[in-house]
Amino acid sequence: MKDGPDIARIATLIGDPARANILTALMTGKALTARELAREAGVGASTTSTHLGRLVEGRLVAVTRQGRHRYHRLAGPEVANVLEALMGLAAGQGHLRHRPGPREDALRAARVCYNHLAGTAGTALYDALAGRGWTRVSDHEVMLSDAGAVAMEAFEIDVTALRKARSPLCRPCLDWSERRTHLAGSLGRALLAEMETRGWARRVPDSRAVTITPAGRDGLRGTFGVRL
Amino acid sequence: MKDGPDIARIATLIGDPARANILTALMTGKALTARELAREAGVGASTTSTHLGRLVEGRLVAVTRQGRHRYHRLAGPEVANVLEALMGLAAGQGHLRHRPGPREDALRAARVCYNHLAGTAGTALYDALAGRGWTRVSDHEVMLSDAGAVAMEAFEIDVTALRKARSPLCRPCLDWSERRTHLAGSLGRALLAEMETRGWARRVPDSRAVTITPAGRDGLRGTFGVRL
DNA sequence: ATAACGGTTCGATCATGATCGAACCATGAA
DNA sequence: TTCATGGTTCGATCATGATCGAACCGTTAT
């Protein structure tokens, strides 16, 4: 009886209520930080850390370091399979779960990631910059081209001042809702700030969501060729 | 976070090694007794009883009383789904499991269930008796018809003596490998005994398997119209 | 009736692990 | 550099539940 695959080991991992909540939260496909997961799970930060450690060790969850964050996501489709089967069984013999995600759409469209723009709008902007040759992407690095510097200056961003700062100008940032990349770094922050001063973007209070105004929509298309 | 389906509850049930072994053993589709499952799980009878109680209460396992046995089987295909997904995940990140069941086929073909015949041969005989009008089946009861009594006497079975015994003459017995019914009761036992004395059937030592001899094959076809 | 056997219940023992707060480490922002 | 914050580690506490043996119950066979 010792020869079977350790389905008990995996089931035990899922069996803790806190961990089950964590995994359920990750079922959306989004990658979440430990803190967000702690809130979802309803336990403290330290407890969550321990749980995440077990889940990662058990290959149910994969983690990606990103600055001071650690983004957690399900380790693979097989894991999602198991969770889905479990939810189907549980739903069939008890109470349903909806979890439609009411404000999910807004977050998916545009949100702040620290101080830069993420979401669909963020990745679109990132792609547009590269498409115009204003940035050059090479294997985990992003550089601002000369033409890009000129364009940014024209957009009222003081690139030379940003270059003097210690923090990197351009940095790729993996966007988990889109599973693609958007622009971080001081330039990313400056871009979002300028968009806010121009009235192109407005932060939603008490949320990471960002609203792109009609003016912002037009401006992004005219200035960067972004189609939203 | 309390609103979700209790995937944790179910996962906890599967998470115990002994219970995982029990469920794995039931994945074959066969219904097994508590004692057989205890051997599979590698724990004592009392422990197994407790585990089975939890599994039944948790709707993962269904139980059917049958004489002094209690046959346990997976509660439904959703349960098998979950187990299959778990095994797939576990196999993908560790050691495989074969469990091909070497002597499964022999048991499936013909075996003793207590002292009567079960398996493919058992259900075929059951069907043949009903097909010839020798038994009448009505909603969880089986009765021997007058024609059937005559036929049994001709087969050297003393039906009148059997009727005097306290145990019922005919009883339907659910056959789990076939998921159909075969004949139990004192007549069922007498039929198998007569088949053995005639050399139609031979028990395999240390096994529940029964071998149907070529003579038995012919005899069953000629006497009862059973085609194997 | 009696023996044999499958199965359950009970009580006691024991190990595991979930949880928290506090201290600590690491990274990014200013 | 300094501060704020995300995240981890540690130690202590506490609850759960897995396990066994023994006694007990119910059914079948003789």
* B2 compared with A90, residue with greater pLDDT: A90
Which secondary structure element, helix H or strand E, spans residue A143, and what is its range? strand A142-144
Q: What is the DSSP letter of B142?
A: E
| pLDDT tens digits along B191-212 | 998 998 999 998 876 566 788 9
Q: Which has the minimum average pLDDT: A6-20, B96-110, B130-144, B208-222? A: B96-110
What's residue A182's pLDDT? 80
Q: Say whether A89 and B81 touch across the interface (CB within 8 A).
A: yes
Q: Say whether A10 and B89 touch across the interface (CB within 8 A).
A: yes
The ipTM estimated for the assembled molecules is: 0.57
Residue B176 inside a domain? The answer is yes
Angstrom distance (rounded) from CA B7 to CA B19:
16
Same domain, B55 and B151: no
Look-up: residue for tokens 């396992």? B61
Angstrom distance (rounded) from CA A155 to CA A136:
19
Write the CB contacts of A77 (distance below 8 Å, at least 6 apart in sequence): none
Q: Say whether B82 and A94 touch across the interface (CB within 8 A).
A: no
Domain limit, last residue, from B49, B67, B99? B99
Same domain, A113 and A201: yes
pLDDT mean over A166-171: 76
What's residue A70's pLDDT? 86
Integer distance in angstroms from CA B217 to C1' D16?
57
Residue B187 inside a domain? The answer is yes
Same domain, A111 and A138: yes
Q: Nearest Cα to A185, choosing from A208, A209, A159, A205?
A: A159
User: Can you tell me which residue has its alpha carbon closest to the C1' of nucleotide D9?
Assistant: A46
Judged against a pLDDT cut of 90, whether residue A200 lies above it is answered with yes
Task: Provide the β-strand partners of residue B142.
Answer: B137
| pLDDT tens digits along B121-157 | 888 898 899 889 899 876 557 888 899 999 999 999 9
Q: Is the Cβ atom of A68 within 7 Å of strand D at any atom? A: yes
Which secondary structure element, helix H or strand E, spans residue A64, and what is its range? strand A61-66
What's residue B97's pLDDT? 42
pLDDT mean over A51-64: 90
Same domain, B83 and B42: yes
- Number of domains observed in the structure of chain A: 2
Check residues 86 to 105 of chain B and report those whose beta carbon is under 7 Å from nucleic acid strand C.
Answer: none
Q: Say whether B97 and A14 touch across the interface (CB within 8 A).
A: no
Judged against a pLDDT cut of 90, whether residue B220 lies above it is answered with yes
Residue A15 inside a domain? The answer is yes
CB A204 within 8 A of CB A111: no
Angstrom distance (rounded) from CA A227 to CA B164:
91
Integer distance in angstroms from CA B115 to C1' C3?
18
Residue A2 inside a domain? The answer is no
How far, in Å, are A143, A163, A199, A202, B140 from residue A193 at the CA level? 20, 17, 10, 10, 78
Which of B2, B3, B6 has the highest number of chain A CBs within 10 A, making it the mutation to test binding with A? B6
Angstrom distance (rounded) from CA B23 to CA A59:
23
Same domain, B129 and B210: yes
CB A170 within 8 A of CB A188: yes
What's residue B139's pLDDT? 53
Residue A159 inside a domain? The answer is yes
Q: CB count, 10 Å around CB of A45?
A: 12
Same domain, A72 and A117: no
CA angle at B226 for the pair B220 and B227, rounded to the nearest 5°: 110
Domain limit, last residue, from A42, A70, A99? A99
Q: Say whether A41 and B88 touch across the interface (CB within 8 A).
A: no
Q: Which of B17, B89, B95 sits opposite A82 (nearest CB)?
A: B89
Q: Is the Cβ atom of B150 within 7 Å of strand C at any atom? A: no
Same domain, A173 and A82: no
Same domain, B166 and B192: yes
Domain of residue B68, residue span: 7-99
Q: Which of B15, B59, B85 sits opposite A82 (nearest CB)?
A: B85
Q: Which nucleotide is nearest to A45 (CA to C1')?
A: D7
Would the CA dihedral through B70, B76, B79, B80 be positive or negative?
positive
Residue A1 inside a domain? The answer is no
What's residue A75's pLDDT? 86
Q: CB count, 10 Å around CB of B10?
A: 26
Backbone torsions φ then ψ of A127, nearest 5 degrees: -65, -40
